Structure 1
Amino acid sequence: MNAFTSVRRDPKETHVAVLHGGISAEREVSLASGGQVIAALREFGYRVTPIDAGADLAATITALRAAAPDVVFNALHGRFGEDGCIQGVLDWMGLPYTHSGVRASALAMDKVAAKAVFRAAGLPVTPHKVVDMEELEAGDPMPRPYVVKPVNEGSSVGVHILRSGDNRRAEIARGWTFGQALVEEFIPGREITVGVMGDRALAVTDILAEAGEFYDYESKYAEGGSRHVIPAAIDPSVYAKAMEVAVAAHQALGCRGATRSDFRYDDTQGEPGRLILLEVNTQPGLTPTSLLPEQAAHQGIGFPALCAWMVEQAAHGP
């Protein structure tokens, strides 16, 4: 057991409620994450109560009060689970919980607000703008290729890449259900990611999507949807920079516990290339195909130990 995994609470004397499910577009992902976490914490020796957080918030609060846990493991993904909403409820109830607090969760989930924080911290972000669907339907809001994505969704839900000759723009605008959209320059090259535990980066993973044209929902969660190369075979200076930026982004947002920073790395003109920070995930996936557990394992941290570390870091407040 290393510095990442030291546990101060006695698992046998710690009762953990695992919140999973939720009502976002990522409900199935959360159920998968929660199932993995429940089994891992029980294996580590914790007493665990699973709670499926459904549409009835009062029922979820009642279940939490009945369980009276020492710690809440937040395994929710998407809206209401990682955007500060459930974090505020848990703060109100005085229950310590895993991952980031209200402020950092809300900032990270709002891609526009997060980019403003990153830019102020001197971190590399891509040119972008927020558009209404009327503007997108009427014409290209920036030169192609560009990416259209929801401002407040995760797991690549609703993400589209529009390249030269693609005639889907008006169709995407008419079928859009996410409010305003974030439109940003498409960065060619590689998709890489860096997990952070506390104040230390774990590794850089090169993500090769097998099921789609980019690391979309299917690539993230379908069996065989993507191939992960860890450590990423990239220029050593870029590898080190990605690790540094991931920790800086985690700190700039005020995150705690574990996060995962996603990047684009444009090496199409050779290395070292252009590194761009896309976003920070305050509730990284904990499914069998997820990246953070894979990086933790690369550092010698097994999945039960990773979950136990998250429980140990649980807190409440900002």
Structure 2
Amino acid sequence: MKIVVLAGGTSPERDVSLSSGSKIYYALKARGHQVILLDVYLGLDTDVPVTEALFEACVDWAKDIQAVSESHPDLSRLKEQRKDGGRSMFGPNVLTLCEMADIVFLGLHGANGEDGRIQAAFDLMGIRYTGTGYLSSALAMDKSLSKQLFAAAGIPTPKGISLKNGQSADSASLSYPCMVKTVCGGSSVGTYRVDRPEDLADVLADAYTFGEDVIVEQFITGREFSVGVIDGKALPVIEIAPLQGFYDYKNKYQPGSTIETCPAELSDELTRQLQGYAEQVFEALKLTSYARIDFMMDSADQSFYCLEANTLPGMTPTSLLPQEAAAIGMTFEDLCEELIEVSLARYERT
């Protein structure tokens, strides 16, 4: 197949996306597909006519991709790399090449990639892509809306309040520690643990730099888990145990920062319960194709709480979904093929 892998973009998760995209690119190349890796924002700026021959060109499209750094990237200079000033999310020739492809593998993360906007544009243009549709992407991306849907479906989720930029919380009415999260962030960018009431105002001010909406959420003391779901069926549970702090951006993407155990050391009963919740979340958010669902388990009573759903989960060397797939004997190349197949099946059903 002719496949475009889209990565990069303009979210704080840009570097993570590029790392995911490069790994996907090499896996699909190894399977004999004709693959092009593109930065959705920078595109392919060339004076040479763009034709389908590019899919057959002897080019390593991922050779300049670097490892994910300890901190999220500085995006302020990104627009300077676009000759047109970056008026559109789609860089030069991106849409042209995506229209030529049999399918676009979305290796994007975060805003302007995982929030349904690109999915909606592709739907209007008749471009096939991996992952769920535009509406379910948007619902899952908005932590405030998704928590409401979890509650309506009877899926436990930490108690929380939603705030808009300019609003302040009554710090005295909250229990500490608590978590502050930008509503539409990912990779734990814009996520903070607040231990003291006097720190809340400064943390909120920083969180608002990532978006206009935040949630202040009950802190759950216990173990953290994630469950991948492919075509509605849960994969083995993986446990995430950071060596220091919580599962933040650094601990997610720096090798050796976190101990990950898959299958997680849980009883059969708790494993089935957690996988059941993951499949319920998949259904409640009207997800299709695949996703990864994150949970906490309260150490006091072993109750599970759903944190969020990731509709385009990471595919980096340290990412969770590939580890879960490996636990059932699926190689990374197998996983990439499977995600394409379940995504194409969505088009066959419509």
- TM > 0.5 between the two? yes
User: Which range moves more in the overlay, 97-106 or 235-244?
Assistant: 235-244
Does the 8 A contact of 1:138 with 1:170 survive in 2?
no
Give the CA deviation at 1:134.
Answer: 4.5
User: Compared with structure 1, are the counterparts of its residues 232 and 58 closer, same or farther at alpha carbon in structure 2 (3 Å cutoff)?
Assistant: closer
User: Compared with structure 1, are the counterparts of its residues 141 and 31 closer, same or farther at alpha carbon in structure 2 (3 Å cutoff)?
Assistant: farther
User: Which range moves more in the overlay, 115-124 or 48-57?
Assistant: 48-57
Partner of 1:219: helix, strand, or coil?
helix
User: Compared with structure 1, are the counterparts of its residues 183 and 302 closer, same or farther at alpha carbon in structure 2 (3 Å cutoff)?
Assistant: same
The aligned counterpart of 2:113 is 81
Structure 1: gaps of 5 or more residues: 1-13
The aligned counterpart of 1:122 is 154
Please give the per-residue CA displacement for 1:157-204, whole angstroms capped at 9, x wherever unaligned.
1111122x4642222133331222101111110111111111211111
1:193 paired with 2:193, answer no
1:65 paired with 2:52, answer no
State the distance in 1 between where 2:90 and 2:258 align. 37
Give the CA deviation at 1:133.
Answer: 5.1
1:159 paired with 2:159, answer no
Give the CA deviation at 1:59.
Answer: 4.8
Please give the per-residue CA displacement for 1:53-82, whole angstroms capped at 9, x wherever unaligned.
115537547333245001000000000100
Does the 8 A contact of 1:135 with 1:141 survive in 2?
no
The aligned counterpart of 1:101 is 133
Does the 8 A contact of 1:44 with 1:305 survive in 2?
no
The aligned counterpart of 2:15 is 28
Partner of 2:227: helix, strand, or coil?
strand
Task: Output the amino acid matched with 1:42.
Answer: K
The aligned counterpart of 1:301 is 330
Give the CA deviation at 1:293.
Answer: 0.2
State the distance in 2 between where 1:18 and 1:57 align. 19
Task: Output the amino acid matched with 1:33.
Answer: S
Does the 8 A contact of 1:197 with 1:258 survive in 2?
yes
The aligned counterpart of 2:65 is none
User: Which range moves more in the overlay, 24-33 or 250-259?
Assistant: 250-259
User: Compared with structure 1, are the counterparts of its residues 151 and 310 closer, same or farther at alpha carbon in structure 2 (3 Å cutoff)?
Assistant: same
The aligned counterpart of 1:249 is 281
1:145 paired with 2:177, answer yes
State the distance in 2 between where 1:58 and 1:181 align. 24
Partner of 1:190: helix, strand, or coil?
strand
State the distance in 1 between where 2:87 and 2:2 align. 23
User: Compared with structure 1, are the counterparts of its residues 48 and 237 closer, same or farther at alpha carbon in structure 2 (3 Å cutoff)?
Assistant: same
Does the 8 A contact of 2:40 with 2:94 survive in 1?
no
Give the CA deviation at 1:235.
Answer: 3.2
Does the 8 A contact of 1:137 with 1:174 survive in 2?
no
1:279 paired with 2:308, answer yes
Structure number with greater CO (CA < 8 Å, separation at least 6) is: 1
Does the 8 A contact of 2:295 with 2:308 survive in 1?
yes
Does the 8 A contact of 2:4 with 2:97 survive in 1?
no
The aligned counterpart of 1:9 is none
User: Which range moves more in the overlay, 113-122 or 168-177?
Assistant: 168-177
Give the CA deviation at 1:234.
Answer: 2.1
State the distance in 2 between where 1:153 and 1:141 align. 25
Partner of 1:195: helix, strand, or coil?
strand
The aligned counterpart of 1:228 is 260
Q: CA RMSD in A?
A: 1.9
Partner of 1:154: helix, strand, or coil?
coil
The aligned counterpart of 1:8 is none
Partner of 1:232: helix, strand, or coil?
coil
The aligned counterpart of 2:53 is none
Give the CA deviation at 1:236.
Answer: 2.7
The aligned counterpart of 2:37 is 50
Instruction: Number of aligned residue pairs: give it.
Output: 300
State the distance in 2 between where 1:173 and 1:183 align. 9
Structure 2: gaps of 5 or more residues: 42-85
For residues 162-181 of structure 1, the aligned pairs below 5 Å read 162-163=194-195, 165=196, 167-175=198-206, 176-177=208-209, 178-181=211-214
Task: Output the amino acid matched with 2:88.
Answer: L
State the distance in 2 between where 1:134 and 1:91 align. 35
1:259 paired with 2:246, answer no
User: Compared with structure 1, are the counterparts of its residues 58 and 261 closer, same or farther at alpha carbon in structure 2 (3 Å cutoff)?
Assistant: closer
State the distance in 2 between where 1:86 and 1:112 align. 21
After TM superposition, what 4+ stretches of structure 1 lie above 4 angstroms from structure 2?
A: 315-318
Give the CA deviation at 1:117.
Answer: 1.2
State the distance in 2 between where 1:224 and 1:149 align. 25
State the distance in 2 between where 1:253 and 1:300 align. 28
